[in-house]
Amino acid sequence: MKYVNADVVLPQQLLQEIQKYMQGGMLYIPKPEGQHKRWGENSGGRSYLSARNQSIREHYASGLSVTELAEQFCLSADSIKKIVYGSKQRK
């Protein structure tokens, strides 16, 4: 998050109103509701993991064991089990 000086971006009247409540400190202004993005949506990490997990489920359904999948995808057997047996299958 980038620091921005309030007197550069806010109108003088609004700045004076804010100064009634806080002076000389740092103030975080959150995004409006509905504009938050979930983890990995910008970078593509979320879609990558979703595709990887779907591939793991398909390989498991075709007969590969948990141990084989763990070696193939460089994950622990417990992680593979969570992906395969988990009820949360995100898209």
**Helices H, strands E: what count in the chain?**
5, 0
58 vs 56: CA distance, rounded Å: 5
- Would you say residue 67 has pLDDT above 90? yes
Contact 83, 53 (CB under 8 A): yes
pLDDT tens by residue, 20-46: 999 888 888 888 887 777 778 788 888
Contact 31, 39 (CB under 8 A): no
Sole residue written with tokens 């990558």? 48
What pLDDT was estimated at residue 44? Answer: 84
81 vs 31: CA distance, rounded Å: 37
